[in-house]
């Protein structure tokens, strides 16, 4: 653990800057904060009004309630009346309930608010099967009753009280929901004995049966163990006919959608009755509890047609219930934007978790890979742009409960580096998540330097004092504490930095909703520079990150004669011969705001240079444009693509604000496909609007 001298500790606490790097053998990374200027719209206004606040203004905190704080020990064993949801409490075991609950979370709302958190995302909290095999349902993903809170966490009234209290503080509450599966109740005669125990005691798996096998009559015979026929609520979920019953997933091909998750009962999400049933379930959840949105589990393992109906129905119902900015985002565990985006375009889901950013941000700042990976990542944002979704609605993160913590990645990638360097890298990676496009999500405990020993159970430590030996032997970043201590430390250097980042984020709309434009990316570890530009303000925020352990500088085209420092520097930047030179400390970053608006530019012409089936997502046509006469960087242009649909009328396709300007249009929607017709409107956001109809046949 990091040992701070009394003087160094005092500096950390007094200045709230990571001067620990200057008190150790790690490379220095001084970060001097200049007070941020207040935005024209008071941040206090939107951060008190949770109901009408745009989700892009939020900062999320993702938490497992069981591992946070035990506010009511009387519910530690769960249900007093229903044995299926009772027991599983053993705080010494990382796979059992540890006692955290909603009362504990409510008691700690001020801790989250002081860190700048505005939205809390809870892992699933509906009533679970308490025990399943050698583990407990502390995580919430083994639901048997979709109408009530799991008694280990409290009552339905406790949930309403938590939401009301959070709302009174201007904070939102998001539920983690499941449509792919329920708890493991259905068994197969070919795999299980009558008591439900498994015939295969080596793998405890049932071989997956493909659709071709089913067509030939090779099927499993589902049954339910006596006494468990009516476990699930609502009652229709107890009928095996609504499930695929094809055995355990092989995690690829058709089995990824139709197979059971290690025995969990996989629903047939192609059936209209299942789609309508889950729409009703979650409409009732919205009506009864008034959450502010849903995170949806295991999205890619559900049939795409399910999402096309489910997502719009849920969003519409939330609006009817008086929740105008209800947001839905899905978990699609894949790092390729060409695949991830299919669920926001074809699947009509408003947003997904940005696994692409997670992988690339960690590769650059928590490892030593090229910053050009980030340039490519944001160039791929065109995949997300369609009529009703965009990349700035994605939820961004750098660690989670499945893959593990940022501290784990740092320990694995830099085993010989000092703790101070790892702490600084954690702060730098978090900063990138806060200020790049998207909505930041902090994984609970990362603000306290938690590291974990691995993924899954090993990454789900207790914030309250832990008695789990495999957690308590971990070396936390930035502190002398262990997980055996109370870890709600508001003087922890990472916590302090995240609170500081939140204040900057909330003060400047461009850092929340501005256009993200890459300005420079080094080939080797070093500089990634980008702009955030709010469309109406049109002043550049220049952000330059340094992933190297040495100080770096970069020369960039200037959009203003002078830039004011907002973070990481003391003196203004002054342009010379149309350029600015930006110096960035080792493992640090700087933020500047331009004094002047970006000069408007006018394109002399627009033409299609590419119209072809997209190589990475063949269901789409990739259209790329050239705007003639634009050389200034950065420059502002809004390029909107409409296409002629099968009814012969123009339909909205995509909007792009960053070069190279593109549109990704679903081929089946365009009359004539790659030989169809588009109407392109280019707007320099300063009054010059041009429109052109173009045949895609080149």
**pLDDT tens for each residue of 577-588:** 999 999 999 999
Q: What is the largest CA-CA distance in the chain?
A: 82
Helices (H) and strands (E) in the chain, counts: 18, 31
With CA atoms as reference, report the closest residue to 588 among 410, 397, 421.
421
In this predicted structure, what is the pLDDT of residue 504?
A: 98
Annotated catalytic residue, options 145, 292, 331, 375: 331
What is the set of domains in the chain, with CATH numbers?
A: 183-268 (no CATH), 514-597 (2.60.40.1180), 605-695 (2.60.40)
pLDDT classification of 21: cutoffs 50, 70, 90:
very low
Q: Give me the pLDDT at residue 16, please.
A: 36
What Å distances lie between residue 159 and 104, 173, 442, CA to CA?
Answer: 12, 10, 22
Q: Does 29 score more than 50 pLDDT?
A: no
Q: What token pair was written down for 568? A: 């990481």
Q: pLDDT tens, 142-158?
A: 999 999 999 999 999 99
- Residue pair 61/530 in contact (Cβ under 8 Å)? The answer is no
Q: pLDDT grade, residue 13 (50/70/90)?
A: very low
Is 369 assigned a catalytic role? no
Average pLDDT over residues 550-574: 98
Q: What backbone torsions phi and psi does residue 181 show, to the nearest 5 degrees? A: -155, 170
Helices (H), 447-527: 469-472, 493-507, 510-513
Q: Could you tell me which of 451, 202, 162, 181 has the C-alpha nearest to residue 299?
A: 181
Tens of pLDDT, residues 260-278: 999 999 999 999 999 999 9
**pLDDT over 90 (residue 353):** yes
**Mean pLDDT, rounded, for 220-231:** 97
For all residues of the chain together, what is the average pLDDT?
A: 93
Q: Which residues pair with 597 in a beta bridge?
A: 539
Find the mean pLDDT for residues 666-680: 94
**Once rounded to an integer, what is the mean pLDDT over residues 517-523?**
98
Q: Is a pLDDT exceeding 90 seen at residue 355? A: yes
Q: Is the pLDDT of residue 591 over 60?
A: yes
- CA 148 to chain CA centroid, Å, is 26
Given a cut of 60, whether residue 18 has pLDDT beyond it is no
Per-residue pLDDT, averaged over 25-49, amounts to: 51
Confidence check: pLDDT of 7 > 80: no
Confidence of residue 697 (pLDDT cuts 50, 70, 90): confident
Q: Got the DSSP string for 658-698?
A: SSSPEEEEEGGGSTTGGG-EEEEEEE-SSS-EEEEEEES--
* Cβ-based neighbours of 252, under 8 Å, separated by 6 or more: none
Residue 20 has pLDDT above 60, yes or no: no
| pLDDT tens string 278-309 | 999 999 999 999 999 999 999 999 999 999 99
H or E segment at 625? strand 620-628
Confidence band (pLDDT; 50, 70, 90) for 60? very high
pLDDT tops 60 at residue 34: no
Predicted confidence (pLDDT) at residue 1 exceeds the cutoff of 80:
no
Chain mean position to CA 240: 33
Q: Which position has the token pair 């530019």?
A: 601
Q: Is 461 a catalytic residue?
A: no
pLDDT at 535: 96
Joined together, the tokens standing for residue 533 give: 């530009």
Averaged pLDDT for residues 183-206: 95
CB of 477 closer than 8 Å to CB of 422: yes
**Is residue 670 over pLDDT 60?**
yes
Examine the pLDDT at 594 and tell me if it is beyond 60.
yes
pLDDT above 80: residue 30:
no
Residues making up the chain, counted from first to last:
698
Q: Say what the pLDDT of residue 28 is.
A: 34
Mean pLDDT of 429-457: 98
pLDDT of residue 40: 39
Q: Which residues pair with 149 in a beta bridge?
A: 126
Q: What is the per-residue pLDDT across 458-481, written as a single tens digit (0 to 9) for each? A: 999 999 999 999 999 999 999 999
| Closest CA relative to residue 518, chosen from 553, 538, 550, 545 | 545
Residue 374's φ and ψ, nearest 5 degrees, are -70, -35
- 65-118 pLDDT, tens per residue? 999 999 999 999 999 999 999 999 999 999 999 999 999 999 999 999 999 999
Distance CA 588, CA 448 (A): 20
What mean pLDDT do residues 629-656 have? 95
For the stretch 389-400, pLDDT in tens is: 999 999 999 999
At 42, the pLDDT band (50, 70, 90 cuts) reads low
DSSP output for 111-157 = HHHHTT--EEEEPP-EEE-SEETTEE-TTS-SEEEEEEE-TTT--HH
Q: What is the model's pLDDT at position 631?
A: 87
Is the predicted pLDDT of residue 337 greater than 50, yes or no?
yes
State the pLDDT at residue 632. 87
CA distances from residue 277 to 230, 234, 293 in whole angstroms, order as listed: 17, 9, 19
pLDDT at 3 over 90: no
Q: What is the pLDDT of residue 698?
A: 57
């Amino acid at each position: 653990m990091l040992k701070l001298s009394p003087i160094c500790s005092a500096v950390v606490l007094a200045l709230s800057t990571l001067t620990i790097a200057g008190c150790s053998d790690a490379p220095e990374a001084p970060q001097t904060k200049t007070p941020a200027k207040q935005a024209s719209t008071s941040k206090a206004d939107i951060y008190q009004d949770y109901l009408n606040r745009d989700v892009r203004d939020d900062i999320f905190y993702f938490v497992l309630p069981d591992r946070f704080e035990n506010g009511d020990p009387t519910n530690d064993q769960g249900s007093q009346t229903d044995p299926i949801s009772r027991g599983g409490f053993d705080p010494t075991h990382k796979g059992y309930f540890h006692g955290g609950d909603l009362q504990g979370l409510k008691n700690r709302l001020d801790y989250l608010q002081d860190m700048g958190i505005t939205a809390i995302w809870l892992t699933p909290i509906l009533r679970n099967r308490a025990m399943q095999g050698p583990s407990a349902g502390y995580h919430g993903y083994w639901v048997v009753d979709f109408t009530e809170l799991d008694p280990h966490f409290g009552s339905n009234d406790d949930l309403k009280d938590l939401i009301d209290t959070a709302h009174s503080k201007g904070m939102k509450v998001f539920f983690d929901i499941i449509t792919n599966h329920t708890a493991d109740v259905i068994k197969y005669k070919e795999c299980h004995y009558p008591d439900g125990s498994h015939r295969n005691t080596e793998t405890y798996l049932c071989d997956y049966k493909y659709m071709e096998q089913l067509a030939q009559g090779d099927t499993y015979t589902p049954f339910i163990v006596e006494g468990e026929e009516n476990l699930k609520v609502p009652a229709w979920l107890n009928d095996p006919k609504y499930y695929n019953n094809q055995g355990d997933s092989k995690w690829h091909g058709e089995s990824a959608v139709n197979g059971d998750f290690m025995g969990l009962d996989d629903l047939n999400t192609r059936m209209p009755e299942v789609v309508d049933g889950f729409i009703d379930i979650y409409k009732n959840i919205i009506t009864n509890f008034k959450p502010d949105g849903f995170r949806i589990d295991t999205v890619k393992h559900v049939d795409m047609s399910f999402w096309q109906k489910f997502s719009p129905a849920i969003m519409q119902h939330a609006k009817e219930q008086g929740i105008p900015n209800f947001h839905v985002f899905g978990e699609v565990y894949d790092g390729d934007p060409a695949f991830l985006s299919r669920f926001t375009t074809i699947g009509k889901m408003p947003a997904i978790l940005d696994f692409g950013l997670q992988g690339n941000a960690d590769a650059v700042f928590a490892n030593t890979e090229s910053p050009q990976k980030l340039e490519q990542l944001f160039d791929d944002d065109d995949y997300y742009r369609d009529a009703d979704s965009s990349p700035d609605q994605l939820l961004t993160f750098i660690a989670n409960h499945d893959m593990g913590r940022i501290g784990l990645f740092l320990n694995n990638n830099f085993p010989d580096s000092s703790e101070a360097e790892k702490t600084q890298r954690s702060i730098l990676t978090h900063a990138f998540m806060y200020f790049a496009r998207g909505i930041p999500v902090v994984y609970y405990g990362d603000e306290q330097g938690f590291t974990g020993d691995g993924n899954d159970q090993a990454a789900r430590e207790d914030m309250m004092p832990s008695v789990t030996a495999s957690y308590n032997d971990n070396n936390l970043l930035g502190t002398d504490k262990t997980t055996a201590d109370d870890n709600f430390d508001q003087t922890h250097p990472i916590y302090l930095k995240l609170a500081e980042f939140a204040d900057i984020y909330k003060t400047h709309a461009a850092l929340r909703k501005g256009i993200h434009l890459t300005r420079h990316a080094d080939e080797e570890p070093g500089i990634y520079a980008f702009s955030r530009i709010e469309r109406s303000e049109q002043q550049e925020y220049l952000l330059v990150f340094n992933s190297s352990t040495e100080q770096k500088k970069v020369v960039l085209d200037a959009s203003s004669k002078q830039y004011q420092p907002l973070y990481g520097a003391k003196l203004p930047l002054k342009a010379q011969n149309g350029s600015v030179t930006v110096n960035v400390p080792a493992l640090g970053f700087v933020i500047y705001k331009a004094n002047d608006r970006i000069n408007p530019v006018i394109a002399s012409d627009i033409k299609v240079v590419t119209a072809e089936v997209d190589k990475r997502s063949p269901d789409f046509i990739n259209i790329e444009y050239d705007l003639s006469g634009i050389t200034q960087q950065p420059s502002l242009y809004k390029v909107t693509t409409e296409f002629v649909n099968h009814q012969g009328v123009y339909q909205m396709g995509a909007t792009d604000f960053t070069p190279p300007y593109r549109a990704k249009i679903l081929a089946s929607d365009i009359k004539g496909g790659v030989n169809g017709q588009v109407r392109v409107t280019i707007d320099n956001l300063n009054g010059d609007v041009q429109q052109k109809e173009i045949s895609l046949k080149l």
